[in-house]
Amino acid sequence: MIEVEIDDEAWNEILFDVQSRVEAAATLALEEAGVVTISLSDDDTVADLNQRFRDKAGPTNVLSFPAPETARPFLGDVILAYGVCAREAGEQGKSLSDHMQHLVVHGVLHLLGHDHMDEDEAEIMESRERMILAQLGLKDPYAFRDEPG
């Protein structure tokens, strides 16, 4: 089960089918493994959470907050910052909805225990993201990194 909370109306204003796109991305990443809450929020809220829980200043695109084992099947929360996501999508030449779906998948994979802090784990996580996003009909989200420039 996926609960979608839209805390910043900017998400609805820019995306026609935001709820169904979030649910599709999270469902594929979850593989029936549990329950998550996806919050589509604003930069200020994410900046506050980033500072309080990660001791990092400013907003980031996506944060994942795993739930304790005792809360199962609830896996945790994923929260996206509208302004950061919109800016990144523009910089990477992709639609906001495609970028949002990628970040939902990315956040849910973190809740499932995937990480990208070491090189081997990053490769596994990115491979999983590519596979899920291909199922959603989206391009490789990391292709922009590999382009000559």
Read off the pLDDT of residues 123-140 as tens digits, 9 standing for 90 and up: 889 999 999 999 999 988
Tell me if 145 is assigned to some domain: no
* Residue-number span of the structural domain to which 97 is assigned: 2-140
Tell me if 149 is assigned to some domain: no
Tell me if 88 is assigned to some domain: yes
* pTM assigned to the model: 0.88
Tell me if 127 is assigned to some domain: yes
Q: Domain with 60 in it: what CATH number?
A: 3.40.390.30
Mean predicted confidence (pLDDT) in 59-65: 97
CA pair distance 63, 68, nearest whole angstrom: 16
Task: Count up the domains in the chain and report the number.
Answer: 1
Tell me if 38 is assigned to some domain: yes
